Amino acid sequence: MQVSGDSMEGAGIFTGDYVVIDKSVETKPGHIVVAVLNGEMTLKRFEKRAGQYLLTSTNPRKYKPIELNEDNPPEIWGVVVGVVRKCV
């Protein structure tokens, strides 16, 4: 999947990079995941804080955490297991 956006730059994932996704890996807190929210795909870190599940950016000054609950359930599409960057 090709990345578009700057929300995961702190993890070394930039616009134009390709992420390698494994759908068979069980999602655990700390993993970077591709999630579908409100019909749109997003690349975020899956976290658990004080019993609350969140999707967080590694660019927190620009993006707030997304709280996950019954009213805002994500579909976790897969876990990022690698990044590929084209060298010019």
Encode pLDDT of 8-29 as tens digits: 999 999 999 999 999 999 999 9
Could you say which of 4, 7, 28, 62 is catalytic? 7
The model's confidence at residue 38, banded by pLDDT at 50, 70 and 90, is confident
Specify whether 24 is catalytic. no
For 75-86, what is each residue's pLDDT tens digit?
A: 999 999 999 998
**CA separation, residue 71 to residues 5, 37, 80 (Å):** 26, 11, 25
Identity of the residue numbered 87: C
Could you say which of 23, 24, 44, 57 is catalytic? 44
Count: domains in the chain: 1
Query: Strands 32-37 and 40-49: what pairing?
Result: antiparallel
Residue at 58 is within a domain: yes
Residue at 4 is within a domain: no
* pTM metric for this prediction: 0.89
Specify whether 44 is catalytic. yes
CATH number, domain with residue 54: 2.10.109.10
